[in-house]
Amino acid sequence: MLINTKTLYGRKLAAKDGLIGHVRDLYFDDETWVIRYVVADTGSWLSGRLVLLSPYAFASLKADEKALQVRLFIKQIEKSPSIESHKPVSRQFEEEYHTYYAWPGYWQGTEMWGISGYPMVVPPAELAAHEAQHTRKDPHLRSTAAVTGYHIEALDGTIGHVTGFRMDEKSWAIRDMVVEAGPWYYGKEIFVLASEVSRISVGESKVYVKLTKADIQRTGDAELAKAGAGVGEQAAFTD
């Protein structure tokens, strides 16, 4: 099931023994396009301190729950490494963070989550065998909140701006960006696959894609036709 990341902002976070704050942001790797961390705003509980929560910590992302369930105790989170002095997030910080929680590092292996396609804890011996063989380079983490609003630059011009990201609730992989196309395409939202992104420019506040406007329009028109005349509020961009 796909979840729009913007629906997670502001959601309450519940540890095993009480509420710990709310979702403020999500950090994703712009090379593998996977959500690596939830940024939790702890409010008055920790004097406004921000803490990172890995997908390893979540039981599920069910939309019908009043709060997202975190499989940690308040005291564990209180003593966890703070990101206030670690911006941008470095591999050194990630190693310290994952060691604290005894979670495997997603960079230790060839799969999306190290040696698995999903955030799951594996036996230490199994992890150690992969650590010696595969270690990825430093992370390319970006904020979904910050990239929201960036203009999408096609090969032949701007096509709109990012309004959200759709992620798989099990693997936390970002499938596509939700883009408000503007008047050039009926004022509708379109979905642009993450695999079609060539680069993200922070200085320009733009996301560059390997597509032309015609590419996007052809696919969008096909999706509208499938939905039927006058039906469907969104045009999905797929391969």
In the chain, at which residue ranges do the beta strands (DSSP E only) sit? 2-4, 12-15, 18-29, 34-41, 50-53, 67-69, 141-143, 151-154, 157-168, 174-180, 189-193, 197-201, 206-209, 234-235
Return the closest-CA partner of residue 119 out of 34, 55, 36: 55
Same domain, 76 and 135: yes
Same domain, 163 and 109: no
Q: What is the pLDDT of residue 142?
A: 92
Same domain, 133 and 156: no
Same domain, 83 and 19: yes
CA atoms lying within 13 Å on the CB side of residue 163 = 12
- Which CA distances in Å does 141 have to 31, 76, 136, 194, 204? 9, 24, 13, 15, 17
Same domain, 84 and 103: yes
Q: What is the pLDDT of residue 236?
A: 43
Same domain, 125 and 155: no
d(CA 232, CA 211): 23
Listed residues 141, 171, 196: the one ending a domain: 141
Q: What is the pLDDT of residue 172?
A: 96
- Per DSSP, the three-state class of 145 is helix
Listed residues 141, 165, 184: the one ending a domain: 141
Cis peptide before 88 (omega within 30 of 0): yes
For residue 165, what are the β-bridge partners?
177
For residue 22, give the CATH number of its domain.
Answer: 2.30.30.240
- Give, for all 239 residues of the chain, the pLDDT tens digit: 899 999 999 999 999 999 999 999 999 999 899 999 999 998 888 876 889 999 999 988 876 678 999 999 999 999 888 776 446 688 788 888 888 988 888 877 777 787 778 787 666 555 555 554 545 565 688 999 999 999 999 999 998 899 999 999 999 999 999 998 877 777 678 889 999 999 999 999 999 999 998 888 876 666 666 656 544 444 444 44
Q: Which domain holds residue 129?
A: 2-141
Phi-psi region of 172 (alpha: psi -120 to 50; beta: other; left: phi over 0): left
d(CA 42, CA 34): 24
Same domain, 64 and 174: no
Q: What is the pLDDT of residue 212?
A: 92
In terms of Cβ atoms closer than 10 Å to its own Cβ (0-12, 13-18, 19+), residue 127 is middle
Q: What is the pLDDT of residue 108?
A: 74
Listed residues 91, 108, 141: the one ending a domain: 141
Q: What is the pLDDT of residue 47?
A: 75
